[in-house]
Amino acid sequence: MKKIMGKIDSIVQNPYEYLSNLSKSRKIMGYSCTYAPLEIIHAGGFHPARIIGLSSNISLSDIHLQSYACAIVRTLLEDSLSKKLDFLNAFLFLHTCDSMQKLSDIFRMRLSFKHFDLILPVKFNTQSSKEYFVDILEDFKTKLEREQNIKISTGKLNESIQIYNNLRKNLLDLYNIKSTCPFAITYADLSKIVKASFIMDPLEFIDISSSIIKNITLAPANKTKRIILSGSICVHPDIFGTIENKNASIVWDDLCSGTRFFEQLVEQTGKPINALADRFIKRPICPTKYVNPSYRLDYLKKIIENHNANGVIFLFIKFCEPHSFDYPDQKKTLEKVGIPSILIEIENQNVFDEQTKTRLETFIEMLGD
């Protein structure tokens, strides 16, 4: 187990090195959002790699973006402009928030990767949005076929669906282990495994994650304060360590860097493109999408109940409007059902100060178990 986690750790510490090596044998398409149709990218002959910027010193991107743009878009642009992403052959942008949309425009104007955009529907609750989703996925598939001068057959697409379903199933199994046996694995390690799945060759990842599942020791479920994380992207192991060092366990999340990446498998019956659209529509949505006014509040209440949580920690990237807009209603809803919560804003993935640490520790101290 130690050896496997050592390998995961080294990939997560140096994701660009792993991808540069992989780029010697196949084309790589970067993407940043969980709405990317990985199966189409994979069947189209690219390795889909989720790029979460690494730079902690932002300078080049300041020429293009205001300092109040979120750290996700600023670091992604910084890494691109400083040529750390030169191993990429293409980048796919998904229309989620305004910042991401603007980043797509800057990439198109300033960078030489092959550029793809998927203009996603905003509402997921109508028949026309489903039809539109199918159309844009078909269109993306056609563009890839043209680009690669290949035909993506139904068989090939089904093969890729099977691969990514296996990858997601392993992540879901690991999360279920964590919820049932919170001491079997730390959330810091779990988060590293999820992050590795963004980067690695999917078959290699399935192998490695299957070994983790096989070798994990199911520690007895001692008493612990059960926490749910909710927000955007957080891959900061220090935050998770601080929470879990305080007689608390993170038993589930509703994060772009967590369950929103892998919840819901693709149905393997019927037309594959329709099944892919269906998965995106059924999967828990992020705050840039709409099903009905209470959807995200009900979802939060559901996971609190399913995982018997004592408290919620909202982890937002500073200046992220979509998550901030949802927050007041989420907070009120939790107050009504008697679940304590705290909001932590993260400026950059490398910044986790003493004040934030103290706030987290105090919050956990006051939680009942």
Binding of ligand SF4 at residue 348 (CB under 6 A)?
Answer: no
Q: How far is the CB of 233 from ligand SF4 (least distance, A)?
A: 6
Query: What is the DSSP code (8-state) at residue 94?
Result: E
Minimum CB distance to ligand SF4 smaller for 197 or for 232 = 232
Per-residue contact track with ligand SF4, 301 to 340, x per CB under 6 A? ----------------x--x-xx-----------------
Instruction: Tell me which residue of 126, 107, 125 sits closest to 117, measured CA to CA.
Output: 107
Minimum CB distance to ligand SF4 smaller for 100 or for 304 = 100
CA dihedral 151, 270, 261, 311 (to 10 degrees): 170
Binding of ligand SF4 at residue 118 (CB under 6 A)?
Answer: no
Binding of ligand SF4 at residue 120 (CB under 6 A)?
Answer: no
Q: How far is the CB of 321 from ligand SF4 (least distance, A)?
A: 6
Binding of ligand SF4 at residue 160 (CB under 6 A)?
Answer: no
Minimum CB distance to ligand SF4 smaller for 33 or for 38 = 33
Q: Do the Cβ atoms of 299 and 124 come closer than 8 Å?
A: no
Minimum CB distance to ligand SF4 smaller for 148 or for 325 = 325
Per-residue contact track with ligand SF4, 265 to 284, x per CB under 6 A? --------------------
Q: Do the Cβ atoms of 252 and 174 come closer than 8 Å?
A: no
Binding of ligand SF4 at residue 231 (CB under 6 A)?
Answer: no
Minimum CB distance to ligand SF4 smaller for 73 or for 174 = 73
Q: How far is the CB of 300 from ligand SF4 (least distance, A)?
A: 17
Q: Do the Cβ atoms of 230 and 168 come closer than 8 Å?
A: no
Binding of ligand SF4 at residue 232 (CB under 6 A)?
Answer: yes
**Whole-angstrom Cα distance, residue 16 to residue 1?**
24
Alpha helices in 88-236, H assignment, sequence order: 98-110, 127-148, 154-180, 187-199, 202-215
Amino acid, res. 318: K
CB atoms within 10 A of CB 241: 14
**Whole-angstrom Cα distance, residue 205 to residue 95?**
28
State the DSSP H helix or E strand holding residue 279, giving kind and residue range, or none if neither: helix 272-282
**Whole-angstrom Cα distance, residue 62 to residue 97?**
19
Binding of ligand SF4 at residue 349 (CB under 6 A)?
Answer: no
Binding of ligand SF4 at residue 72 (CB under 6 A)?
Answer: yes
Q: How far is the CB of 159 from ligand SF4 (least distance, A)?
A: 31
SS3 assignment, position 89: coil
Binding of ligand SF4 at residue 52 (CB under 6 A)?
Answer: no
Give the residues lining the site for ligand SF4 (CB under 6 A).
Answer: 70, 72-73, 96-97, 99-100, 232, 288, 317, 320, 322-323
